[in-house]
Amino acid sequence: MELLSQLLTPALGIAISPLPIVGLILILLGENAKGNSVFFSIGWLIGNLTTFILALFFMGVTTSESGDTNLIQKLVFAVLGGLLIFIAIKTFMKRTKVGEEPKTPKWFAKMTSLKPMGAVGFGVVLSSANPKNLLLSLSAGAAAGAVTQSISEDGLAILLFGLIATSTIVIPTILFSVMGDKISHKLAEMKNWLIYNNDTITAVMLLFIGIKILGKAF
């Protein structure tokens, strides 16, 4: 399916982004874990879908009303791809070196004691205000919008993107609600590994996706 192939890569990029997963793990290891993880997942879904839908419909409008649709598409993909590659290089340059302690964002300390609305807010911010995640959502929406030709296809694109991009937040939330403290130790181990390797994972992922998105401009 062409639609799935267009949005799959950036959607997977969002799904495997380390920091949001670490944020969820911190919530799961904190106060009111089950409730806050659900609220965080809701915020994560809202933020990602909002950005995706805006890009989806923008691309749909420009490609249907513009006199030179190919040029519009090329410009959008060139900008998005170029920015992703730039951020990938910048992220790789500041990666944690062997023997160094990884630097963590200040908001990590707040994740274990959030209120429900705070959890929703963090989910929205991490998904729509984080430049890396924002570019990936825009790329997915633009790629899908360039090939969809009907409202039903737009709806399918939104559904597929939502399922893929939020899977690594929603699935652990469901697992924790069932298994609870039984997986806390594994979550703590995963958190430490993701924090240490965050920059490397993110840089490689963004470079790969950026090159693929940039390729759509030529």
pLDDT value for 67: 45
pLDDT in tens, 132-178: 999 999 999 999 988 888 899 999 999 999 999 999 999 999 988 88
Identify which has the larger pLDDT, 12 or 100: 12
Q: With bands split at pLDDT 50, 70 and 90, how would you rate the model's confidence at 179? A: confident
pLDDT value for 160: 96
pLDDT value for 69: 54
Tell which residue, 33, 22, 24, has the closest CA to residue 116: 33
pLDDT value for 107: 81
Strand, helix or coil for residue 149: coil
pLDDT in tens, 79-102: 999 999 999 999 999 887 777 777
Measure the N-to-C terminal CA separation of the chain; round to a whole number of Å: 22
Q: What is the C-alpha separation between 91 and 200, in angstroms, rounded?
A: 8
pLDDT in tens, 17-69: 999 999 999 999 888 888 999 999 999 999 999 999 999 998 888 765 554 45
Q: What is the pTM of this model?
A: 0.90
Q: With bands split at pLDDT 50, 70 and 90, how would you rate the model's confidence at 10? A: very high
Identify which has the larger pLDDT, 107 or 87: 87
Yes or no: say if 162 and 153 are a contact pair by the CB < 8 Å rule: no
Q: With bands split at pLDDT 50, 70 and 90, how would you rate the model's confidence at 112? A: confident
pLDDT value for 111: 84
Tell which residue, 74, 92, 128, has the closest CA to residue 205: 92
Element holding 140 (H helix, E strand) = helix 131-145
pLDDT in tens, 193-212: 999 889 999 999 999 999 99
